[in-house]
Chain A
Amino acid sequence: MTSGGIRIKAWAAAACALFSSAVWANPQPGQLNMTRGVSEWSPEPYFLNNVALGVCVVIGVLVFGAMFIAMFRFRKSRGAVAEKWSHNTMLEVVWTTIPVIILIVLAWMATGGLVSFADTTGSQMTVKVTGYQWKWRYDYVDYQGKAIDKVGFMSKLDEQSNDTRQLRSGLDPHAVKVGDENTYLLNVDKPLVVPVDTKIRFVITAGDVIHSWWVPALGWKIDAIPGIVNAAWTNIKVPGTYRGQCAELCGQDHGFMPIVVKAVSKAEFAQWLAQQEAAGKAPPATPATPASPAPASTAAAPATAQAAPVATTSGKRG
């Protein structure tokens, strides 16, 4: 509602985005296709999406084309007389076989992507993610083979978005910005900071109800379930700030618990981590101290207690 000019520019930019893809990692106005993402694995779903879409478009053109031809050629008003046949074995065999072949090719491609996703071994870093109503908790478990001591924090919707999103707040969502980027409902008070070019294993669980941790630029989402630890991995190739949201209905503020991942160079990350560890060791509690999470839930305690040993042993839940 603020400025139509910016909108039009955004549309034009998005039109470019559809064809040049890789540039946009976060949602863009008028975005038409999936992001290619910025991680080692994220091109898999993007590629699969494009191939499957292409296959569907071709089949659609053929089938709907035949249908439209039938609708014009065989109109009663053009004097068409109905034929009597209602069977053609050859044709039926052909159109059963061809889809099977197409499906086998698609299945083969998808299986490759799935197997590489499932392999969380050889990671150089582990981050534990815990979903709560309605915020995320991040605990850094280890980095380059060394255990990290007491680096963990809550990450929740930033204050400006939170004020703006109140019912009839009168505040303009278009005004919530970081630099040029609109971050309404996609910004947090404290982002997850991770290094690039590092295979990071996420162990994901929840303290109360089921959530789902999703950053489109990383290429996947996985549910955060109380009492269960899921594992997934990423290896981010491009430094930047990547935004996502909770993707599993988790109560009234489900739409208001975004995820922000800030990928920085390894050197920057080492520096940041040292700062956090120092802050964690300082006796008075700072926000970085992993004090027992606040949200009222009886399930929280056993869930997190269970999570710790599993997190260090196996990847997938058994």
Chain B
Amino acid sequence: MAHAATHDHHDEHHGAPSNFFTRWFMSTNHKDIGTLYLIFSLTAFFVGGSFAMVIRAELFKPGMQLVQPYFFNEMTTMHALVMIFGAIMPAFVGLGNWMIPLMIGAPDMALPRMNNLSFWILPFAFALMLSTLFMHGGGPAGGWTMYPPLSLQSDSLAYVVFAIHLMGISSIMGAINIIATILNMRAPGMDLLKMPVFVWSWLITAFLLIAVMPVLAGAVTMLLTDKYFGTSFFNAAGGGDPVLYQHVFWFFGHPEVYIMILPAFGIISEVIPTFSRKPIFGYKAMVFAIASIAFLSFIVWAHHMFAVGLPLGAEIFFMYATMLIAVPTGVKVFNWVSTMWGGSLTFETPMLFAIAFVILFTIGGFSGLMLALVPADFQYHDTYFVVAHFHYVLVTGAAFAIMSGTYYWLPKWCGHMYSEFWGKMHFWNSVVWVNVLFFPQHFLGLAGMPRRIPDYNVAFANFNMISSIGGFLFGASQLIFLGVIIHAVFFSKKKAPDRVWEGARGLEWTVPSPAPHHTFALPPVIHDDELAHGHVED
């Protein structure tokens, strides 16, 4: 009995605080903070999505029907900023927060209080940024890239700059935390080359974040001083150079693109082996490919600027460097396919999203390769072809991976199974409509429709209408996602076992479902054959 009493006391002491405010606002627990990140990200996903609905509604047919051109530009700008900084990035940080300590056998993140701070900065940053939409003069409308001199014409520049500073601080703190956790808190026996690929992908991503977020902060600060303090960094009349901004911005911007895809690679590298019941093919090659993509991301920035009039040598260098990325990316795709080959496959919702990811992300990679060819890019640049390309890599890439990861780990988080039927409904609706939405945009771009325009010639009418219909239905499909999550968390009666998926390997599946408030207070004993990728000696 004495033992039982001790045990009870133990639980009470280590359980989640019962006070709502204490638990959620003052939390230092990686799981609760992970949950906060994920809820924040889902909210931003719907806010950013609603902006996209405005865009697609205005583009439904030629002629201006709904909004003024300036408001349209605010929508395109805000859609990008909210989706990138509010939906995709926090979702990955949330998944990292939740899963990295569980995957490496750590009791929590290395810097729990900073973890709390890095999350709670975000709602304020976004309140600051979104508030500009309600201000006299409107929000930012110069595109998320904020190229001067156009961005300097905006009255809300200072708000956006400060919001970006806050988001950057949050991201850097999150990244430091993840690096500190992975390098210091692994359970004994969890060697670096035994870590799950998801942990590897986050480790590398975190270094990218620390390297480039300060660059963005510098670039936008120069915008601020150009506008309010009379400097001329980007003002040609004062000896500055508008193109300088683009170099600095894309030195941030291209690694940023990989910040949004590398953790997705990690998730897919967890999901595919699980549902193939076979270790990941070429574990070391996968890790090395992620590292090489990360390295290459620093030397390809000017491929976003092929039309600014770079010297010939620069265009050739950036073209070759960009094309090189196809090699490690190809290795990853081939390895995922090989992982499936010879496996024992089942097709639960996470696997469906992962398979769709591999195919559709690869299509986005193909158009990326086409865009790398400079002479062709002189035609593609700033058209809907580019819009189609980056939505394939960001929506069917990053967002699908996040959805895959959500379905994969949701039972571990909440202790209940989600509805497989509605999960599949969500998947099939998403995968069909997202292609109806974005595939025709390739044609629009090739035919000559520039991006970021609120109205167009009637030659573009057919595909725009198809795209808009796909957009509305893809948007509506995401309500199913919301429904599945709410059902699983609050209403599902089906208890999840500890090892939720038959083929799942790794430490996160050795703890109960739902994962208790504190896990791995004592470091677990690592058995190599229980790790996700089996033996890696060969």
Contacts and interface: CB of A to CB of B under 8 A. Distances in A.
A85 B309 contact: no
Contacts of B309: 222-223, 225, 228, 230-231, 316-317
B374 interface: yes
Contact of B236 (A110, A118, A166, A303): A303
B30 interface: no
B491 interface: no
Nearest to A53: B370
B194 to A, nearest CB: 14
Nearest to B77: A249
Interface stretch (B3-11, B56-64, B96-104, B476-484): B56-64
Given A110-B376, A299-B237, A172 B452 contact: no
B443 interface: yes
Contacts of A252: 68-70, 73, 141
Contact of B63 (A80, A164, A212): A164
B43 interface: no
Contact of B446 (A33, A75, A115): A33
A294 interface: no
Nearest to A225: B242
A107 B320 contact: yes
Contacts, number: 333
A247 B462 CA distance: 21
B538 A87 contact: yes
A76 B501 CA distance: 14
A219 B73 contact: no
Interface stretch (B177-185, B358-366, B400-408, B515-523): B358-366
Contacts of B378: 45, 117, 219-222
Given A64-B359, A221-B379, A303-B237, A92 B448 contact: no
Given A74-B344, A115-B312, A92 B282 contact: yes
A274 interface: no
Contacts of B449: 27
A262 B166 CA distance: 51
B312 A114 contact: yes
Q: From B240, B343, B362, name the one whose CB has the most chain A CB atoms within 10 angstroms.
A: B343
A299 B234 CA distance: 11
A267 interface: no
A178 interface: no
B225 interface: no
Range, interface on chain A: 35 or more
A91 B373 CA distance: 28
A228 B246 CA distance: 14
A167 interface: yes
Contact of B375 (A110, A186, A226, A302): A110
Interface string B279-312: 1111101000000000000000000000111011
B458 A174 contact: yes
B326 interface: yes
A288 to B, nearest CB: 28
B381 interface: yes
Contact of A185 (B61, B377, B456): B456
Interface in A9-31: 11, 26-31
B446 A225 contact: no
B243 interface: yes
Nearest to A134: B69
B312 A27 contact: no
B460 interface: yes
Interface stretch (A94-102, A122-130, A192-200): A94-102
Contact of B376 (A49, A186, A227, A247): A49
A219 B379 contact: yes
Contacts of A34: 376, 379, 446-447
Contact of A212 (B382, B446, B453): B382
Contacts of B331: 92, 95-96
A239 interface: no
A86 B280 contact: yes
B379 A220 contact: yes
A45 B443 contact: no
A287 interface: no
B63 A173 contact: yes
Contacts of B131: none
Interface in B436-450: 443, 446-450
A239 to B, nearest CB: 20
A166 B64 CA distance: 6
A247 B382 contact: yes
A138 B519 CA distance: 70
A95 B333 CA distance: 10
A44 interface: yes
A249 B64 contact: no
B453 A74 contact: no
Given A99-B327, A110-B375, A184 B62 contact: yes
Nearest to A34: B446
A220 B309 CA distance: 11
B534 A86 contact: yes
Contact of A245 (B358, B446, B450): B450
A226 B150 contact: no
A147 interface: no
A103 B326 contact: yes
Interface string B496-525: 000000010000000000000000000000
Given A167-B68, A228-B241, A247-B382, 12 more contacts: A26-B448, A45-B376, A49-B379, A60-B363, A66-B337, A82-B344, A86-B534, A95-B334, A225-B242, A225-B243, A248-B147, A251-B73
26 contacts: A33-B443, A35-B448, A74-B340, A75-B346, A76-B277, A82-B342, A84-B279, A86-B279, A88-B282, A92-B285, A99-B330, A103-B327, A111-B319, A118-B315, A166-B64, A184-B457, A216-B448, A219-B375, A221-B379, A228-B241, A247-B307, A247-B450, A252-B141, A255-B450, A256-B455, A318-B311
Interface of A: 1, 7, 11, 26-35, 44-46, 48-49, 52-53, 56, 59-60, 63-64, 66-67, 70-71, 74-77, 80-88, 91-92, 95-96, 99-100, 103, 106-107, 109-111, 113-115, 117-118, 164-169, 171-174, 182-186, 208-210, 212, 214, 216, 219-223, 225-228, 230-231, 244-256, 298-299, 301-303, 306, 316-318
